[in-house]
Amino acid sequence: MAGWNNPSMPWRELEGILSDRDVGSGRPHPAELDEARRPRIGVPAPGATTPYAELHAHSHYSFLDGASSPAELVNEARALGLEALALVDHDGLYGAVRFAEAAAEAGLPTVFGTEFTLGLDAPQNGIPDPDGSHLVALATGPAGYTALATALTDGYLTTDARGAPGEKGRPVFELERLAETAGGEWMVLSGCRKG
C-alpha cells in the first residue's frame, strides 16, 4: 500500500497498527514511539493540498440556486486554492462572459457547462425547487461550447410532444437530441440531486 503520503507497508501491518495488535512486523508499535517519531498514516504533509476542481457551481444567474456573481465565484475558488472551476448555470450560458473575464484576470482555468432541465410541463421561473430532472454537461473545448450553445438554443425553439414551444423557464430538451448535438464534445456529470 503506497500513495496519499502513506509509508509503504503491507496491509497486515497497517491492520495491526490500527487495531493495537502486534503482528510481528519488527517495527515498534506507535504507542511506544514518542510524538515526534510517530508515523503519520494518511495525513498530508503540512502545506500540501490535494488538487481539486469544482465542476458544479451555479452563479446568481441560476435564480434561487446560486447566490454569487461569476467574479465572486472565481475569487472564492482562488482563495480556496482550487485548480479550476466549472460554471454550470441552469439552462443557459448566462454568466459565461463575466466568468471568462474574471478567471482570465485571476489566472484560474475554466470549464464551461450548463445544467439542462428535462421534462418540464410548465415554466419554472421563481420556483425554489423546480420540477424536471437535470443533466450537467461540461464542454471539453471550443467545439463542446458551440454544441452547448446550439443545444440551448434548440431547447428554447423546439416544440414538445404537445406542440408547445420552449419558453423562458421551460425549455424543451430531449436526451437523445442532446446526445446527438453533443457529438462527443461534452463530459456529463451524475452528481446533481435531480440528475
Q: Give 116-134 pLDDT, tens digit per residue.
A: 999 888 888 777 777 889 9
Q: Give 132-183 pLDDT, tens digit per residue.
A: 899 999 999 999 999 999 999 999 888 777 777 667 778 999 999 999 999 9
**Domain boundaries defined on the chain:** 1-48, 53-189
CATH architecture of 53-189: Alpha-Beta Barrel (3.20)
Give every strand in the sheet of 53-57, ordered side by side: 53-57, 84-90, 110-118, 133-139, 186-189
Q: Give 63-114 pLDDT, tens digit per residue.
A: 888 899 999 999 999 999 999 999 999 999 999 999 999 999 999 999 999 9
> CA-CA distance, 171 to 33, in Å (whole number)?
64
pTM over cut 0.85 = no
